[in-house]
Structure 1
Amino acid sequence: MDATAPRWLMKMAGVSWRLLVVVATIALIFYATSRVLLLFVAVFLALVFTAVLRPAVDALSRVLPRAVSTGLAMLGGVLVFVGLLTYVGVSVADRWSKLSEQFGQGIEDIIDFLENGSPVPITVGQIDQWIENGRTWVEEHGGELAEQAVARAGSVVEVLTALALAFFCTIFFLASGRQMWTWFLNQLPASVRGSWSAAGGAGWYAFSGYTRGILIIAVTDGLLAFILLTVLGVPLAAPLAVLVLIGAFIPLIGAPAAMVVAMIVALAANGPVQAAIVGIGIALIGQFEGHVLQPLVMGKQVSLHPVVIALAVAGGTLTAGILGAVIAVPLVAVAWTVYSTLRTPDPSPTDEADVPTGIEAYEAGESHP
């Protein structure tokens, strides 16, 4: 039968069954990951924490034992994060009473506008009726809401468990990551250790580049939000900018949540017009991040084309929601870097001194986790 089949058909058949094997392998990986999702998330977070704290640990370990350097770096990271949240909370608490009064006035301004200035007038009676309908709906669906609250409570426990496991893994990744990687390489046949070492080094360098890119984007978002809120005269500009910075680490929901909080403060302080302007401004910052910063910064840090990054984020979101949006870019970056490293042929003896291998190029930039 092969002798009578056209050559192009045999080539297509060969490519097709190989593609089917690749697709089946990817599907198996996705299925296996979904069964141990908590473990996967914990390890991913541990690698992110390691990439962020590794430079500090390396610097401290020059004068202190590695274990002490690890503890100080992790303690410093926790204190910075908690300090940012505390700063936001204290700043809001100091002005809470005044903001509450201004917020009430802002609500009255909105109601007055809806009654007298809106193209479609809305009376106070209609608003009261809507509130009553909402209260009735909550009473009728109280059981369902309670069940969802219990389910969310279970999710919170899972999140805390993942964070605890991530911190536990981070300690060992920072303190003895090199030894762990060396132990893993020693379990492999000697003939493939060089390839695995080069691929692992290049993959880790790409993952670290992704983490650096996220930090750059978050800080840029926070600065732009601070400038916008300061120019508009919105109180608590610095704490709100910190919220925007933190929200940049949470795709899809982080930025909108920070925008709503900023709009509420602007409404309380300066009225509905200012609130609308703040909402539009922060939404534009989000668009700038998604269409300019993400492709440019991430494209440089992880060596991916902006189109690939956009497609990866979209595909990850459609496949696994927020989690998919978070992990899509680093996974694609690491996979492509590993593939590129493994497919690069060894240099000839005459070019060996001039052409760095994957691991040499990597070692010039950063160490293993």
Structure 2
Amino acid sequence: MSPGLSRIDPLVLLFVIVIVAAAAVAFWPLLDVVIVGLSLAVVLLPVHRALSRRLPGAVAAGLVVAAVVLILLLGSGFMAAVLAQNAQYLDHILQTIFDWVWAPAAEQAIPLPIPPEQIAGWVGEHADTLQAGIAGFAEAAPLFIVKICVFFLTLYIGLLKGDTVRDRLVGHLPTALKRDIGRLSTVTVDTLYAIYVVHVATAVITFFLALPFFYFLGYGHILFYSVMAAVFQLVPIIGPSLVMLFLGAFALSQGDARGALLVALVGYPIVCALPDIYFRPLMMGRRASIHPVIMWIGFFGGLAAMGIVGFILGPLFMALLVAGYGIAVRELTRARTLPGERDPVSNLTKL
């Protein structure tokens, strides 16, 4: 053990761990937004460093947070404007699907494969659950506002003090351990970049793929449908598949077999599947440098185990696991190398 580490009082270390654990338990309802805020701060730290060369650190952090707020407001405002302009059309679609479900005798509609009585029974069984969910959302509104405030405050302090905290912690570690921590730090930044930046880039790609499809579909309101597809691409797991399901039901309710086939055979493969199956793994693999299948295990496993925050922590833990495996293999290889014998790993790197 390094002399520096051997001088650490175990009781002091245990006391610090207990304080951190107690804080995590006390702030558990807010831990998800704290994690998201800190992870986004890691991705935006290069922007903060660039601004800090010309401005004070606090001002630079404030400008980055203000830019994030502005982007979110502009994006939300644009989406709200698109929805407002197409409100009557959306109401028409919903009414058409509703009439198709509850009055399937319309001549132009393709018959519903499920009896209306069965749908009514399903709706009745889940009505109470839906009402409870709406009531719970209304009750959670104050906490949601608090979470938004905590998110932006965490983002600000993460930008302002992130580099300082890292340097102070890592600066006292042994040289060999610093190298391994640096490797894990690089993996963390690359993985978070892949999660955030690639996620947004995939939504942008979905938008441009959706434009020609909805043009050829012939239902009009091309911008509306394309924006909805891009927005739903930002929703983990669900994606724009919900938009395609909605459009498929609308096509069937109008008796438009051509539209239903286009949605199923063209819209879903190109607008929904192609960005997720091809573009997302391609862009993630280039930055995160781990197999896309491992990233998908992290996405699905994280969501199942930790909820929405698992969309970030799941891939991050998998990436750190792979990096830890690489470090362990390197150390084991080095330990087996005899004195005076050249390290086979270093030989390979020179080829």
- What is the TM-score normalised by the length of structure 2? 0.67
Match of 1:44 among 24, 35, 39: 35
Change (3 A) 1:283 1:119: closer
Work out which structure has the larger RCO, using CA pairs closer than 8 Å and 6 or more positions apart in sequence: 1
Aligned counterpart, 2:225: 240
How far apart are residue 305 of structure 1 and its match?
1.5
- The answer to whether the 8 A contact 1:235-1:265 is kept is no
Gaps of 5+ in 2: 1-22, 335-341, 347-351
Q: Deviations over 1:70-109 (max 9, x none)?
A: 2222222222222122122223323434664576578778
Change (3 A) 1:230 1:170: same
- Looking at structure 2, the residues matched to 159 and 47 of structure 1 have their Cα atoms a distance apart, in angstroms, of 18
Aligned counterpart, 2:12: none
Q: Deviations over 1:278-326 (max 9, x none)?
A: 6434432322233323332222221111332333334334434554445
Aligned counterpart, 2:299: 313
* Segment of structure 1 superposing worse, 322-331 or 99-108: 99-108
Identity %: 20
How far apart are residue 232 of structure 1 and its match?
2.5
Secondary structure at the counterpart of residue 216 of structure 1: helix
Change (3 A) 1:207 1:49: closer
* Segment of structure 1 superposing worse, 292-301 or 48-57: 48-57
Aligned counterpart, 1:214: 199
Secondary structure at the counterpart of residue 240 of structure 2: helix
Q: Deviations over 1:25-57 (max 9, x none)?
A: xxxxxxx99997544422331134224433433
- Looking at structure 1, the residues matched to 24 and 210 of structure 2 have their Cα atoms a distance apart, in angstroms, of 37
Aligned counterpart, 1:276: 260
Change (3 A) 1:80 1:304: same
- The answer to whether the 8 A contact 1:213-1:297 is kept is yes
- The answer to whether the 8 A contact 2:42-2:158 is kept is no
- The answer to whether the 8 A contact 1:106-1:271 is kept is no
- The answer to whether the 8 A contact 2:30-2:147 is kept is yes
Change (3 A) 1:273 1:89: farther
How far apart are residue 171 of structure 1 and its match?
0.4
- The answer to whether the 8 A contact 1:54-1:174 is kept is yes
Aligned counterpart, 2:156: 171
- Looking at structure 2, the residues matched to 263 and 251 of structure 1 have their Cα atoms a distance apart, in angstroms, of 21
Q: Deviations over 1:191-242 (max 9, x none)?
A: 7445434433443333324333223322212221223223334433334333
Structure 2 residue identity aligned to 1:61: S
Change (3 A) 1:322 1:279: farther
Aligned counterpart, 2:279: 293
- Looking at structure 1, the residues matched to 229 and 259 of structure 2 have their Cα atoms a distance apart, in angstroms, of 16
Give the paired residue count.
310
- Looking at structure 2, the residues matched to 99 and 267 of structure 1 have their Cα atoms a distance apart, in angstroms, of 16
Aligned counterpart, 2:79: 88
Match of 1:184 among 169, 173, 185: 169
- Looking at structure 1, the residues matched to 111 and 128 of structure 2 have their Cα atoms a distance apart, in angstroms, of 36
Gaps of 5+ in 1: 1-31, 356-369
- Looking at structure 1, the residues matched to 308 and 324 of structure 2 have their Cα atoms a distance apart, in angstroms, of 25
- Looking at structure 2, the residues matched to 95 and 190 of structure 1 have their Cα atoms a distance apart, in angstroms, of 61
- Looking at structure 2, the residues matched to 339 and 304 of structure 1 have their Cα atoms a distance apart, in angstroms, of 12
* Segment of structure 1 superposing worse, 234-243 or 66-75: 234-243
- The answer to whether the 8 A contact 1:217-1:294 is kept is yes
Aligned counterpart, 1:20: none
- Looking at structure 2, the residues matched to 114 and 85 of structure 1 have their Cα atoms a distance apart, in angstroms, of 40
Q: Deviations over 1:263-282 (max 9, x none)?
A: 688899x9755763564344
How far apart are residue 67 of structure 1 and its match?
2.0
Change (3 A) 1:72 1:41: same
Q: Deviations over 1:108-142 (max 9, x none)?
A: 789897544678689xxx86x789x569938xx87
Secondary structure at the counterpart of residue 253 of structure 1: coil
Structure 2 residue identity aligned to 1:65: P
Change (3 A) 1:188 1:39: farther
- Looking at structure 2, the residues matched to 231 and 110 of structure 1 have their Cα atoms a distance apart, in angstroms, of 27
Residue 90 of structure 2 is aligned to residue 65 of structure 1: no
Aligned counterpart, 2:326: 340
Change (3 A) 1:299 1:33: farther
- What is the TM-score normalised by the length of structure 1? 0.65
How far apart are residue 170 of structure 1 and its match?
0.9
- The answer to whether the 8 A contact 2:188-2:320 is kept is yes
